Amino acid sequence: MEKKSDRTIIDTCKPLIKHSTKILVRKRKESGKFDILYIVNIVAFCLSIISTILFWFTDAYNQMLLQNIVLKNDTLIKEWYFNPPVNKIIKVYVFNYTNFDNFTSGYDTKLHVNEVGPLVYEEIVKKTNVKYEGFTITFNENRSHIFLPELSSKSEDEIITCPNIALISAIPNVIRMGFFAKVGFNTILSATRPNELETLTLRDFIHGHTNDFMNAISKFKWDFSPEDIGILAQRRGVTKKSLSINSGIENSNDVGQVVKLGDKTSMNIWKSEECNAINASDGVFYGPEKIRNKKGVQVYLPEFCRSLPLEFRKKSFVLNNIPAYYYEAPENTFTYNNKNYCELKSIHKNHINGVLEVSDCLEEKPPAFISHPHFMEGDDKLFEHIDGLKPNRSLHNSFVYLHPRLSVPLYGVSRMQLNLRVNHFKNYYKKFPDGLILPLAWIETTTSKDVPKKFKQLIYLSSVFANNFEIFIKFGSLITMMISLSLLIVQLYKLTKETCQDSGRV
């Protein structure tokens, strides 16, 4: 079935072809030969019209290129998506608390932290349990980490002092569970005597560990698993919730858009429909139409049940002068009462700008908050009782360079800090201001710079070569159309005049 644009092109050329054919047939009968130059001009004119309409007034060429990123069978992009040729690089920066004794004794009025790191890991991601349903692909991710000591500034055996994640996480859960839970929890505290801050190796703090207290509360009514206590613990192994994305086969502009988390098409933990929505980028494809028009995009973070915004800032170049659009997280990402901020339904306390509570998204429901590193762009309250934080936008903001046509990331850095809120319980944390938010660590995620040759070729063909070819065809077809039309008018005038003169002689 012919498209409307194709029908229009044919209708445009038809009168000229019909009229020219009559003249040429008549000329053929009279002179016994065709005017080859005239035929060539007709063909050139019609082809130039087709090219002009297709390249100037339709999106056909762009849609043809976008087929390179559609997740359909037997394509290189699909193979890369499910078996990435480039692994992620994870850099972990840990906050070491250096004056705990002086603070609890009242000698120091602020806790002091030193940033330790980075500890660098290669994160290997494989997609498992892959299922296809219509234009949707559902899968889980299986992650593992390899320590890279040659890129790290510290050994995993180095000792630090850090907040007791298990204890801080358990307290608000026990408080919610009521009287009998508190009695049982008191018994565990008396028997195991956990410290408010722990002295651990970086390995134990990052990957997780067990102790008597953790083993005891894991058998308690509260849903708790010691294996989940660690900065990278939640990123290790097979994800508990599956992710469903659009394959882009029906519409290439929807490729990589998250449509479902687990069995849910929307969440029910945030106060607004916009925050509960799951329609956002998977972080691999960002929506070609949005990027082409320099619109803001949302990236979905399934571990926090929330999408975070990225906004266009400028045009740039990466990977040996490949054109790119530079996007970054806006300054008000974690600012209360703005369009990007989300609030849990369970929150009834005063808000602090610079952090976002995500406790209801996590299975153990710890009092967890995410923020920019070093509480960048956060409220002064976050710094009131903690010293040693040095926020710097150039070091702590998240950004990505996106391909203007394909919307895939050419290079990017994601930076996120993990924090816990302290709650008083019996004699625990009485020296800490109730509700104090303690920074644990921040994580920087990038991709390896060892980009496969085939990927570089695809990017080059879809940018430099494709752009130059499009410009050449667009202006070439326009110029060809104007020249061939001028020649046709002259030739048609001559042929018509000769035909009229011949008819007059007869």
Q: Read out DSSP for 265-292?
A: SB-SSBSSHHHHB--EE-SS---HHHHH
8 Å CB contact between 281 and 258: yes
Whether the predicted pLDDT of 396 surpasses 90: yes
DSSP per residue, 159-197: EEEEE-HHHHHHHHHHHHH-HHHHHHHHHHHHHH---SE
Whether the predicted pLDDT of 3 surpasses 50: no
More confident position, 279 or 372:
372
Minimum mean pLDDT among 123-137, 294-308, 459-473: which range?
A: 459-473
What residues does each domain of the chain span? 4-65+464-505, 86-451
Minimum mean pLDDT among 9-13, 97-101, 381-385, 437-441: which range?
A: 9-13
Locate tokens 């070439």: which residue?
Answer: 476
Strand 437-447 and strand 409-421: the pairing is antiparallel
Measured between alpha carbons, how far is 105 from 109 in angstroms, rounded to an integer? 10
Minimum mean pLDDT among 7-11, 111-115, 183-187: which range?
A: 7-11
Average pLDDT, integer, range 387-396: 95
Whether the predicted pLDDT of 32 surpasses 60: no
8 Å CB contact between 215 and 225: no
The pLDDT of residue 348 is 61
DSSP per residue, 45-60: HHHHHHHHHHHHH-SH
Measured between alpha carbons, how far is 181 from 185 in angstroms, rounded to an integer? 6
Pick the closest to residue 456 from 315, 319, 284, 288 (CA basis): 319
Whether the predicted pLDDT of 397 surpasses 90: yes
User: Going by C-beta distance under 8 Å and a sequence separation of 6 or more, which residues neighbour residue 65?
Assistant: 405, 406, 462, 466
Measured between alpha carbons, how far is 185 from 191 in angstroms, rounded to an integer? 10
Average pLDDT, integer, range 426-445: 94
CB count, 10 Å around CB of 153? Answer: 13
Q: Is 348 helix (H, G, I), strand (E, B) or coil?
A: coil
Q: How confident is the model at residue 28 (pLDDT cuts 50, 70, 90)?
A: low
457 CB-contact burial (10 Å; exposed 0-12 / middle 13-18 / buried 19+): exposed
Measured between alpha carbons, how far is 345 from 347 in angstroms, rounded to an integer? 6
Average pLDDT, integer, range 23-34: 53
Locate tokens 């400028």: which residue?
Answer: 314
Q: How confident is the model at residue 2 (pLDDT cuts 50, 70, 90)?
A: very low
* Long-range Cβ pairs for the range 383-386 (8 Å, 24+): 384/110, 385/109, 385/110, 385/111, 385/432, 385/433, 385/436, 386/110, 386/111, 386/112, 386/113, 386/438, 386/439
The pLDDT of residue 87 is 85
The pLDDT of residue 457 is 72
Burial 345-374 (b: 16+ CB within 10 A, else e): eeeeeeebbbbbbbbbbbebbbbbbbbbbb
Position 124: which residue type? I
Q: What percent of the chain has pLDDT over 90?
A: 41
Measured between alpha carbons, how far is 440 from 427 in angstroms, rounded to an integer? 22
User: Going by C-beta distance under 8 Å and a sequence separation of 6 or more, which residues neighbour residue 19?
Assistant: 492
Whether the predicted pLDDT of 120 surpasses 60: yes
Whether the predicted pLDDT of 62 surpasses 90: no
Determine the Cα angle at 305 with ends 168 and 210, to 5°.
Answer: 35
Q: How confident is the model at residue 478 (pLDDT cuts 50, 70, 90)?
A: confident
**Radius of gyration for the chain, computed over Cα atoms and rounded to the nearest angstrom:** 32
Measured between alpha carbons, how far is 202 from 149 in angstroms, rounded to an integer? 13
Q: What percent of the chain has pLDDT over 70?
A: 82
Strand 159-163 and strand 280-281: the pairing is unpaired
According to DSSP, residue 11 is labeled: H
User: Going by C-beta distance under 8 Å and a sequence separation of 6 or more, which residues neighbour residue 263?
Assistant: none
Measured between alpha carbons, how far is 226 from 204 in angstroms, rounded to an integer? 12
Measured between alpha carbons, how far is 407 from 243 in angstroms, rounded to an integer? 20
